[in-house]
Structure 1
């Protein structure tokens, strides 16, 4: 098991990134249909944007075992997207996020990864809660947050300028 390996779900392996995997992130977020709900412009990420994000995720993983993680399918080792926790800048709260290649939408991978991350954060950290949010137009992403039991809180314009529906998941009383 790699030192970057965080955990597995039934069908997925969640692991940290290496800089030599930059091309995978460029392919994912360079796709306009994947990046359309990430910024107001919806523009695909440039290689430079992907590199900055990747460096930040690697640092967050090394320092706090958080960060957006690589999702690979167990059955064939194929890279299918990313999911994990960022730190929401205005509040410092762990923030759940995910993005998958289009050909993997609708297969339940985002929900499976998000549910695994929900359980992992309370098992492995002292976080009292985490948040998640999605562009109010991004119905599939909002559905994932609800499916894993997150509670809607409010609609707000987040730092990238997107009007988003926010959610929270609090540590269970027995967790």
Structure 2
């Protein structure tokens, strides 16, 4: 099985390997990237990154889900991660993304999320997926809206953050 899942106009979304742990640690070890991912907002430790990476690899191998590596087509540069996790409280696929700061504001998160939105309905039988972000994380919430997600409710998530939840339902074709 190829580790490349799909491409968008500017990005390649692919599965992870354990030898790429340092990339994930560089991303989530950055306090500005991790600040909206947990109540403490603390950068990830090597152990946290390794646990996440093992989980994403397993999810990719078993369900073709998981948070995926984002690399830029133009130069192969690792710029972040995007993909689907499984929300622990409900078992629903949940979309998420995190990019290095220097790649914020140029549409990469929206491009990856749009590609993931289309991919999940093309490749799986999922009736919907959810997305959520800390209510203080306006850029992330904007991405969810840009890809057409509907706001549902505000809830304290499994990490203790007050989050705005969204849903995107499988389109019905007549």
TM-score (norm. length: structure 2): 0.99
Q: 1:72 maps to what in 2? A: 71
Q: 1:111 maps to what in 2? A: 110
* Distance across 2 between alignment mates of 1:102 and 1:34: 7
* Distance across 1 between alignment mates of 2:112 and 2:141: 14
Q: 1:38 maps to what in 2? A: 37
Following TM superposition, the consecutive aligned residue runs of length 4 or more in structure 1 with deviations greater than 6 angstroms are none
Q: 1:26 maps to what in 2? A: 25
Q: 2:56 maps to what in 1? A: 57
* Distance across 2 between alignment mates of 1:151 and 1:115: 14
The one-character-per-residue Cα deviations of 1:118-167 (angstroms, maximum 9, x if unpaired) are 00000000000000000000000000000000000000000100000000
**Number of residues of Structure 1 aligned to a counterpart in Structure 2:** 174
Q: CA RMSD in A?
A: 0.9
Structure 1 gaps of 5+ residues are none
Structure 2 gaps of 5+ residues are none
Q: 1:166 maps to what in 2? A: 165
* 1:49 Cα deviation after fit: 0.1
* 1:94 Cα deviation after fit: 0.1
* 1:102 Cα deviation after fit: 0.2
Q: 2:101 maps to what in 1? A: 102
* 1:174 Cα deviation after fit: 1.8
* Distance across 2 between alignment mates of 1:104 and 1:3: 26
Q: 2:46 maps to what in 1? A: 47
Instruction: Please give the residue correspondences for 1:141-160 in structure 2 after superposition, counting only pairs within 5 Å.
Output: 141-160=140-159
The one-character-per-residue Cα deviations of 1:62-92 (angstroms, maximum 9, x if unpaired) are 0000000000000000000000000000000
* Distance across 2 between alignment mates of 1:152 and 1:3: 35
TM-score (norm. length: structure 1): 0.98
